[in-house]
Structure 1
């Protein structure tokens, strides 16, 4: 079964340029339903008002980091199984391990291209 490209995706990053880049990559892959949030707390508010099928979040943000957002998502029974891809500029082993323990679905290091993003999304959805 092919991945449904009309699924709602939430991109979370405090850097507007990065949101634009990820949105463009998602569009290249074929995704049509993409929302964004500027930080973890804004993302959490959106996640509680609309059902998303995937979250792609930056790690380093303020006031709520992507890691804290991931913890909140996993602690909420209505969001606990939501696929969550973490994006970071640093490939620190400690961060990868922490994110895995917190229940991240996949992990991507910047910079990345459409093929990498597509492969990470496909892996999350078992394609």
Structure 2
């Protein structure tokens, strides 16, 4: 039981770090990390969950607040961005694990609409 709990904690921590790159990749023109093989079979809803978790992590750090404080705006961001993505943009995310240029623009628009801070 303790090993299972520790494994879940390690997995959750690793996932948070990985998801942080989604939001950062959505706002940066810096070289992107290598493709994420775990994104290959994600549904749009699962992509939305990744974007939401990455937003919680990144925005709580940028705004120096709790994840709870950015829950609603991050939900707005994740839902809006993924719902606005085309089939090609969804497939590009599956291929790489991060937003392509056109999806990144949509993500930035939703950061603004949802009153979140743009990462540098």
- Taking structure 1 as the reference length, the TM-score comes to 0.28
- Taking structure 2 as the reference length, the TM-score comes to 0.29
Q: Which has the higher contact order (CA 8 A, sep 6+)?
A: 2
Which structure shows the bigger proportion of residues in helix conformation? Answer: 2
Which structure shows the bigger proportion of residues in strand conformation? Answer: 1
